[in-house]
């Protein structure tokens, strides 16, 4: 059977004979192939039907209720809350509460203290009473787990804004950090871009220490209301923790004696830094948390709510809201149209959609229009590098990222565009920019080059998630795959990245996943890159990875890995089967030449069997990360694009292999 659709939708081409023939075809193998073709055809139709008229795709980006809680707290702080928004946010937050009274940060994850505290406070703002059964369960759990004193710094900053926590009991981060030269440790460019966008405005907040009248008390959230913040013993001076704790004490003293002129100048400099990085749509980096803190900081230094900068910032926050049919309102931490569009383009092309199909051309047009043409913060470390590349979001010209740029190039190379010179020029700029962002060790981080200082993570202020951006296996693999497609597999820079990837392989045979969960994502990224770059399928590293993937396949034929694998070894490679993670494993195995293997057949069969009638897949589990474990993401389009890519390669072969009619 050949997977085809009419020209008005999928326009899928017949599968390549070399990819579909087997040396010993069996009825079971033929049935799996036919099921894969049918599933791919349905998936193509589904994905084409979800494309925006402008050419992009975007799935909902689910995180956790701290986004919604902090949105309500911001509105309370600024005095701009409205009843409809408050009640809609409350409806969503209430619906995410677990039976034990807690809120988790990912599907079926454990209750998380700071998230539960913020959700509880938000519901108090929405009118829920502390003695309501669901609220009483939450507060009892919070007290049992240490109360507010045991929560993370960012949670306590939000509470300090209303006098529910003392500013003196928070770590200090002075705005004078804005003046530190880039060669000095702990300057703002030592932090990852997401961290620096958050920390700079928070230094202003920390300096101002505002307190707005609290609408109610929160005594019920302290483990001991008489002693809400028991003194903690300092770590020994001989440890890094001890050193930084004492530095923090010195910064608290400096807060009391800081020269007013210096303090004012530093806050003004921070405000200028913030405003210079505001995007055209009013947001900051296309990310909700930095936007929230930037609005607060600018308000504290004197920008009223009617100022154009403030109006644009507040309006941008509304664009993170998704209103659901039941009246609930969910806040996205970020939006991922560039990422989703390039992955959808790759999926459709690899599934046989012709390279000049109108949907692919329209997607390519939109991506070409999103190319970044001006320097951003990355140029601090690479001042001589010409701009290029793509960011993750609709509007983010300051922070293009290496991962998106690599995948956009791979997507564009699959499209036969009516203006080939335009596409070629954009690809060349993207490749040049990515090569220029290679770190000293031969690998790539996500946003910056050589962002590897060990100091930022040690600050008492930085107790949540990653605050630096070191190279990772998954990003490096995507760049290497792109370079191989561009004919640069033997470039010395590519060879260095291969050496780095081989050195990063775990003893199990897997690779760690930084931006996806977890070892399945890392391994699913690396194997296609290594084989594309010419590493033979018989190479010991590839065979070890294949053995590991086969060893962690679930009994149902799929693959899954729980987010707890970032903390608990027993979860590595284990979890409920998901469409996206099954696809990642299949992409790795197919790249390693395992198309005829039983593991691949079982995985393909699982995808075909679990596909819904409309051609989509369901996936409540979170398989993406912002910070491993600390901030988890459910990319709603992952469950569509990756299974289609895997099915397409199973049916048609590798996208740039000798059996495919590529566009190059």
Give residue 658's pLDDT band: very low, low, confident or very high (50, 70, 90).
low
* Residue 4: pLDDT over 70: no
Residue 235 has a pLDDT of 79
Select from 307, 238, 309, 226 the least CA-distant residue to 275.
Answer: 309
Classify residue 314 by its DSSP letter.
Answer: H
pLDDT in tens, 166-177: 999 999 999 999
* Residue 16: pLDDT over 50: no
User: What is the rounded average pLDDT of the residues 648-662?
Assistant: 75
Q: How far is the C-alpha of 587 from the C-alpha of 654, rounded, in Å? A: 9
pLDDT in tens, 603-637: 999 999 999 999 999 999 999 999 998 899 999 99
Give residue 27's pLDDT band: very low, low, confident or very high (50, 70, 90).
low
C-alpha pair distances (Å), 292 with each of 103, 313, 509: 22, 8, 42
User: What is the rounded average pLDDT of the residues 220-232?
Assistant: 85
* Residue 20: pLDDT over 70: no
Residue 51 has a pLDDT of 98
Name, in order, each residue with C-beta under 8 angstroms of 573's C-beta and a sequence gap of 6 or more. 508, 510, 519, 520, 548, 551, 552, 559, 561, 565
Q: How far is the C-alpha of 450 from the C-alpha of 660, rounded, in Å? A: 38
Residue 101 has a pLDDT of 97
Residues that are catalytic:
403
pLDDT in tens, 141-163: 999 999 999 999 999 999 999 99
Residue 321 has a pLDDT of 94
Give residue 1's pLDDT band: very low, low, confident or very high (50, 70, 90).
very low
Give residue 465's pLDDT band: very low, low, confident or very high (50, 70, 90).
confident
Burial (CB < 10 A; 0-12, 13-18, 19+), residue 525, is: buried
Residue 12 has a pLDDT of 45
Helices of type H across 505-637: 519-532, 540-551, 579-591, 598-610
Do 221 and 120 form a contact (C-beta atoms < 8 A)?
A: yes
Residue 334 has a pLDDT of 93
Domains belonging to the chain, first-starting first, are 17-61+334-454+472-652 (1.50.10.20), 64-331 (1.50.10.20)
Give residue 587's pLDDT band: very low, low, confident or very high (50, 70, 90).
very high
* Residue 95: pLDDT over 50: yes
Residue 660 has a pLDDT of 47
For 100-123, give the secondary structure using H, E and C: CCCCECCCCCCECHHHHHHHHHHH
* Residue 659: pLDDT over 60: no
Residue 19 has a pLDDT of 36
Residue 10 has a pLDDT of 43
What's the predicted TM-score (pTM) here?
A: 0.92
Q: How far is the C-alpha of 80 from the C-alpha of 337, rounded, in Å? A: 29
Residue 348 has a pLDDT of 98
pLDDT in tens, 513-530: 999 999 999 999 999 999
659 or 543, greater pLDDT: 543
Do 89 and 126 form a contact (C-beta atoms < 8 A)?
A: yes
Residue 229 has a pLDDT of 80
**Over the chain, what is the mean pLDDT?**
92
- Burial profile 347-357: b = 16 or more Cβ within 10 angstroms, e = fewer: bbbbbbbbbeb
pLDDT in tens, 257-316: 999 999 999 999 999 999 999 999 999 998 988 999 999 999 999 999 999 999 999 999
User: What is the rounded average pLDDT of the residues 434-439?
Assistant: 98
* Residue 58: pLDDT over 90: yes
User: What is the rounded average pLDDT of the residues 326-347?
Assistant: 96
Calculate what percentage of the chain has a pLDDT beyond 90.
Answer: 85
Q: How far is the C-alpha of 633 from the C-alpha of 626, rounded, in Å? A: 7
573 or 226, greater pLDDT: 573
Residue 661 has a pLDDT of 41
Residue 240 has a pLDDT of 78
Give residue 238's pLDDT band: very low, low, confident or very high (50, 70, 90).
confident
* Residue 475: pLDDT over 60: yes
* Residue 664: pLDDT over 60: no
Residue 246 has a pLDDT of 84
């Amino acid at each position: 059977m050949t997977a085809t659709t009419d020209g008005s939708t999928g326009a899928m081409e017949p599968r390549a004979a070399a990819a579909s023939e087997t040396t010993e075809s069996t009825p079971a193998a033929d049935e799996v192939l036919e099921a894969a073709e049918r599933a791919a055809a349905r998936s193509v139709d589904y994905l084409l039907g979800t494309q925006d008229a402008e050419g992009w795709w975007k799935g909902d980006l689910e995180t956790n209720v701290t986004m919604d809680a902090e949105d309500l707290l911001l509105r309370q702080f600024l005095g701009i809350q409205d009843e409809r928004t408050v009640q809609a946010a409350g409806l969503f937050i209430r619906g995410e509460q677990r039976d034990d009274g807690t809120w988790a940060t990912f599907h079926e994850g454990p209750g998380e203290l700071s998230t539960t505290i913020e959700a509880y406070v938000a519901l108090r703002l929405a009118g829920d009473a502390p003695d309501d059964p669901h609220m009483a369960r939450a507060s009892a759990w919070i007290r049992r787990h240490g109360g507010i004193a045991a929560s993370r710094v960012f949670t306590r900053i939000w509470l300090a804004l209303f006098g529910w926590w003392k500013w003196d009991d928070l770590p200090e981060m002075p705005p004078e950090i804005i003046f530190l030269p880039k060669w000095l440790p702990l300057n703002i460019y030592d932090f990852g871009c997401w961290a620096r966008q958050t920390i700079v405005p928070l230094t202003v907040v920390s300096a101002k220490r505002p307190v707005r009248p609290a609408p109610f008390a929160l005594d019920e959230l302290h483990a001991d209301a008489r002693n809400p913040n028991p003194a903690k013993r300092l770590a020994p001076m001989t440890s890094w923790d001890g050193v930084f704790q004492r530095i923090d004490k010195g910064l608290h003293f400096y807060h009391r004696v800081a020269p007013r002129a210096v303090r004012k100048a530093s806050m003004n400099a921070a405000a200028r830094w913030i405003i210079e990085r505001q995007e055209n749509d009013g947001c900051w980096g296309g990310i909700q948390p930095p936007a929230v803190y930037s609005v607060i900081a600018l308000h504290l230094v004197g920008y009223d709510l009617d100022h154009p900068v403030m109006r644009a910032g507040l309006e941008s926050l509304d664009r993170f809201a998704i209103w659901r049919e039941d009246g609930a309102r969910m806040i996205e931490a970020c939006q991922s149209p560039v990422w989703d569009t390039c992955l959808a383009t790759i999926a459709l092309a690899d599934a046989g959609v012709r390279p000049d199909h109108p949907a692919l051309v329209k997607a390519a047009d939109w991506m070409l229009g999103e190319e970044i043409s001006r320097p951003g913060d990355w140029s601090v470390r690479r001042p001589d590098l010409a701009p290029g590349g793509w960011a993750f979001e609709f509007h983010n010209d300051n922070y293009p990222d290496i991962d998106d740029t690599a995948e956009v190039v791979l997507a564009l190379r699959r499209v036969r565009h009516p203006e080939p010179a335009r596409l070629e020029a954009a690809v060349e700029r993207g490749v040049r920019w990515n090569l220029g962002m290679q770190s000293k060790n031969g690998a790539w981080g996500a946003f910056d080059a050589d962002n590897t200082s060990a100091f930022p993570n040690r600050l008492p202020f930085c107790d949540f998630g990653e605050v630096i951006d070191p190279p990772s296996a998954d990003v490096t693999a995507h760049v290497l795959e792109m370079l191989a497609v561009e004919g640069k597999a033997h470039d010395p820079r590519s060879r260095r990245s291969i050496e780095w990837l081989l050195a990063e392989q775990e003893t199990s045979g897997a690779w760690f996943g930084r931006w996806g969960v977890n070892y399945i994502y890392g391994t699913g990224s690396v194997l296609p890159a290594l084989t594309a770059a010419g590493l033979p399928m018989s190479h010991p590293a590839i065979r070890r990875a294949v053995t590991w993937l086969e060893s962690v396949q679930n009994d149902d034929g799929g693959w899954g890995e729980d987010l707890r694998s970032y903390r608990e070894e027993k979860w590595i490679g284990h979890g409920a089967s998901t469409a996206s993670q099954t696809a990642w494993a299949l992409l790795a195995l197919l790249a390693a030449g395992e198309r005829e293997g039983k593991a691949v057949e079982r995985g393909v069969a699982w995808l075909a069997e679990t596909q819904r009638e409309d051609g989509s897949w369901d996936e409540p589990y979170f398989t993406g990360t912002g910070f491993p474990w600390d901030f988890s993401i459910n990319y709603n389009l992952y469950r569509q694009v990756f299974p289609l890519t895997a099915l397409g390669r199973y049916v048609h072969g590798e996208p740039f292999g000798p059996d495919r009619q590529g566009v190059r």
